[in-house]
Chains A and B, each alone.
Chain A
Amino acid sequence: MAATRPLTVCDVYDRFMKGKKVAEDKWDYEIIPQNATRLKEKYKLNFGNKFVPEDKATMDNLFNAGLEMLVETGFYCQDNNRVMNVTEEEVWEGIKKTPTKIILGDGRDAARFYPRHGNSPVKPIIQGGPTGSPISEDVFVQVMQSYAQEGIVDTIVNGVLTTIEGHSAKTNTPYEIRATMTELRSVREACVRAGRPGLAM
């Protein structure tokens, strides 16, 4: 049956509220491994020693197995221990709704985020940064600048400040928020110092 529309975040919330109650350990230790194993066998998946598949059949079988995993297993909400379900048609509607072209950053520093498909001769976007690694407050700007100044880098991903004004940037405290806001200003400063103020973060 055709989907009524692509799912919104609120649709997902509503389905979680009405979903079937499942114990989290049953989800983790039974439902996920059993369904994954069943689909591996159904689609006869065996990657052998390859890092990247060389045949279309393996790609299609894995895609269909993953799609079936999502549709038949559903998704789990850790807060209310309920499972929501989605139909295959809704998955495809969601894919259709997703933008396939995005511009990251602005001005002369903008990066075009377009589909490459296969091993296209077009290089992927290089997002340089510590990817959430802990960084000291006194060198945060310099660490971020070391990425922004690399010519091969197209966008920036930030590290995480371990302290803010000497205080631990502990989760769920005002210091966490102050640290986050400082990270944003510091990344911007690092990009300016590297002569690339428009880089996306």
Chain B
Amino acid sequence: MRTCDSHECSQLNELKIDMNALNMLAGWTCNGNTIMIEQMPIFGGYCGMVEETAICDVATTLASFTLFSGNFHLDGPIHIRWGTTTARETLQVAGHAAAAIDANTDLLLANQYYPMAGPCTEMCLLETAAQAITDTASGRELLSGSAAAKGVVQDKTTGMEARIMGEAAKATAGMKIPEVNKLLNKIVSDYEKHYTNAPAGKTFQECYDVKTVKPTAEYVQVYDGALKRLRDYGLDIKH
């Protein structure tokens, strides 16, 4: 790896770490490597509810830089019941924690994506867009994803989810925050009612021609459908 690539090291939940992590960090700091430190606070876990989880999120983010010599922090507040980062409460945690740190420091902040639905579904694309909108509006500098189907099902991630993440972020950049909050309420209200019957989606092999690495006509159509829904909700997304 080059020094312009980044190494990843994870904290443990909550406000914990182990010696293995320190050993890796000792090597990377000597080498001048770029270091990303990850921590995914659990909403509904040891911390408690939304505000308490956001407090722990800010604390662990600051620790990444000041205790562990990280160069950027990869967040990922996760819902204890749903195992996703795109739930209403986890978006609130991420949005508030990032805005708080952004308003008081120049630290570089990232977030990672674990939607519930699988690829080739409008729900997956809407979940991803909602988090991209939250992360962009709250001042984060890097969006990392997306691990569709909660990141646990083999081959259920594709480049199309990253496309919606990027396009939603681009369309959000510069919007006024009260408008962003209204928009997010509409999008999240759309998909959160499907949590108990979320579509499993399709595998990469079913979403793309594996030889040409082109998405299927079906996925392009689903993508267009998600864009239309986002435009109808008020996001000025171009392509």
Contact = CB atoms under 8 A, between A and B. Distances in A.
Interface in A25-52: 27-29, 32-33, 36-37, 39-40, 45-47, 49-52
Contacts of A145: 159, 213
Interface residues of A, number: 104
B59 A66 contact: yes
A47 B51 contact: yes
A7 B6 contact: no
B144 A131 contact: yes
Interface of B: 1-2, 4-6, 12, 14-19, 22, 25-26, 29, 34, 46-48, 50-63, 65-72, 88, 91-92, 95-97, 99-108, 110, 112-114, 134-149, 151-160, 162-163, 165-167, 169-170, 172-178, 180-181, 184-185, 188, 204-205, 208, 210, 213, 215
Interface of A: 6-10, 12-13, 16, 27-29, 32-33, 36-37, 39-40, 45-47, 49-54, 56, 58-60, 62-63, 65-67, 69-70, 73-80, 84, 86, 90-91, 93-95, 98-100, 102-106, 110, 113-136, 139, 142-143, 145-150, 152-153, 155, 157, 159, 162, 184, 193, 200-201
Given A94-B65, A122-B173, 14 more contacts: A8-B69, A40-B51, A47-B54, A49-B185, A54-B178, A63-B104, A78-B18, A94-B67, A119-B180, A126-B166, A133-B154, A135-B155, A157-B144, A157-B145
